[in-house]
Amino acid sequence: MKFFVDTADIDDIKDLASTGLLDGVTTNPSLIAKSGKEFIPLIEEICDIVSGPVSAEVAATDYETMRKEAEVLRKIADNIAVKVPLTPAGLKVCKELSDGGTMVNVTLCFSAAQALLAAKAGATFISPFVGRLDDISQTGLDLIAEIVTIYSQYPNFHTEVLVASVRNPLHITESAKMGADVATCPPNVIRALYNHPLTDKGLAAFVEDWKKTGQSIL
C-alpha cells in the first residue's frame, strides 16, 4: 500500500518525506485555505519536495471553467494529479485529461456505482471517503471492499483505490487487507502507525539493561 499525506502544511510534508515512507500528497480547497498560502506557489513547492503524485483540486463546478483550471494545474509539474469532483462535469474533464496522459484523482466518492463511473472515465485514482460515511452511521470500509471487488473483475480498469477521509490506523490496516492501493491520511494518523505500548515498554527495558552494562557502542 502506498501512503499519501493529506495536508498542505509544508513542514509536515518535509518531515514525512524525510522518512522515505511517503509516496505522494493530496490537497483540497479546505486544506489550502487552512494553510493561508497562495495556491499555485504552494503546490509548486510541494511538487519540489515530493516526487510522487501531488493532487491539486479544481475550484470550479461547471465543465468549462473546470477544464480551464485543470489546464493550469496540470502544467505545474509532471507529478500533478488534477483532482476533480465525482460529478458529470468532473468525469467529463477526467476523461479528457486521462486521454491526454494527465493523472486524475476523482474525489468525493461515496458509492461503488460512482467508483465504477470514475474507472470508466479513466481516473488514475478514485477517492472514497470512509470517515465521512462512518459519520452518518454507515461503514466506510464496506465501500472500500465493494470497490476493490468490482475493480478486480475488470483487468482493463487501471484506477487505483485511494482511501480518503482516514481517521485512524484501523482504517489503513483494514483497507490494506482488502487490497486498496493507497491511503491518504492526515500527518497525525501516519505518525500513529508507529505507536504500540509493547514497543515502548520493550525499548525502555532494553535501554535500562544497556545502562547496567556500563558500555558504549561509540
Active site residue 83: yes
Which of 93, 98, 39 is closest to 68 using CA atoms?
93
**Number of Cβ atoms within 10 Å of the Cβ of 144:** 26
Q: Give the DSSP per-residue string, 64-126.
A: HHHHHHHHHHHTS-TTEEEEEESSHHHHHHHHHHHHTT-EEEEEEE-SHHHHHHHHHTT-SEE
- Pairwise CA distance, residues 214 & 203, whole Å: 17
173 in helix, strand or coil? helix
Catalytic residue among 34, 37, 68, 83: 83
* Active-site residue set: 83
